[in-house]
């Protein structure tokens, strides 16, 4: 990691990436801060200073998540074929229980989400779920399939989720924590 900044009691490493972008932005990729700047930008320190509170909070969130899962082991033995079989079985079970039909199930690597559901009723699941415990994969599949009933994450959507997963917020929190763990442990 190239550069470092000190915010409060934390020293945070970061990289600078110059790209063909119009506006600067900050990202935490694989748990590390990346400052993305337009090619002609000279305002690195200014951007960091302006967003130091956000950087501090986000870094704390990531470090806390990693600490919470420090004793967890990612499932690195599951093959893509095994994942496909498991996801298809869950989709079939939930399809019957929810009384909905899906068209096809796809597995592919996604940069920022666990899954998606297309307007053509195609269910796409991020291949990173293979590292999750089964109980969390089931939740991801169920979550996406509920979008066949309610497209938006509104009150009705969460009520349907809550009928099966009473404490769904816990599942959402674990997904966030595992996201950071996967980014850290697997070369993404």
Per-residue pLDDT of 29-73, as tens digits, reads 766 788 999 998 877 888 888 999 999 988 888 888 778 888 888
Residues 58 and 84 in one domain: no
Is 164 found in the same domain as 85? yes
Select from 68, 95, 124 the last residue of a domain: 68
Find the CATH number of the domain harbouring 96: 3.30.2010.10
Does any domain span residue 178? Answer: yes
- Closest by Cα among 62, 76, 9 to 33: 62
Taking only the tens place, the pLDDT of each residue in 115-173 is: 999 999 999 999 999 999 999 999 999 999 999 999 999 999 999 999 999 999 999 99
Show which of 68, 95, 112 is a domain's final residue: 68
Q: What is the pLDDT of residue 187?
A: 62
Output the pLDDT for position 73. Answer: 83
Closest CA to 78 of 157, 138, 134, 122: 134
Whether 121 contacts 146, CB under 8 Å:
no
The residues, any chain, with a CB within 8 Å of residue 10's CB and separated by 6 or more, are: 56, 59, 60
- The verdict on residue 103 lying in a domain is yes
The number of distinct structural domains making up the chain is 2
Instruction: Name the domain boundary from 29, 44, 68.
Output: 68
Pair (58, 22) in one structural domain: yes
CA distance 29 to 9: 22
Alpha helix ranges (H) inside 99-133: none
Indicate the pLDDT class of residue 27, thresholds 50, 70 and 90: confident
> Is residue 188 scored above 60 in pLDDT?
no
Range of the domain at 51: 3-68
Give CA–CA dist 12/3, Å, rounded.
8
What 3-state class would DSSP assign to 70? coil
Across the chain, mean pLDDT equals 90
> Does 75 map to a domain?
no
pLDDT exceeds cutoff 70 at 11: yes
Q: Are 35 and 24 in contact (CB under 8 A)?
A: yes
């Amino acid at each position: 990691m190239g550069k470092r900044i000190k915010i409060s009691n934390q020293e945070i490493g970061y990289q600078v990436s110059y790209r063909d972008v119009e506006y600067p932005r900050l990202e935490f990729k694989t748990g590390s801060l990346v400052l993305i700047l337009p090619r002609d930008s000279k305002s690195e320190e200014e951007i960091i200073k302006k967003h130091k509170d956000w950087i501090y909070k986000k870094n704390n969130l990531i470090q806390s998540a990693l600490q919470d899962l420090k004793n967890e082991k990612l499932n690195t033995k599951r093959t893509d074929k095994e994942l496909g079989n498991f996801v298809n079985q869950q989709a079939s079970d939930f399809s019957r229980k929810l009384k909905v039909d899906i068209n096809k199930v796809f597995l592919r690597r996604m940069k920022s989400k666990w899954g998606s559901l297309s307007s053509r009723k195609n269910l796409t699941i991020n291949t990173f779920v293979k590292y999750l415990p089964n109980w969390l994969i089931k939740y991801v599949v169920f979550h996406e399939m509920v979008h066949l009933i309610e497209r938006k994450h509104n009150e009705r959507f969460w009520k349907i989720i809550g009928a099966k997963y009473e404490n769904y917020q816990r599942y959402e929190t674990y997904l966030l924590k595992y996201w950071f763990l996967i980014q850290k442990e697997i070369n993404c």
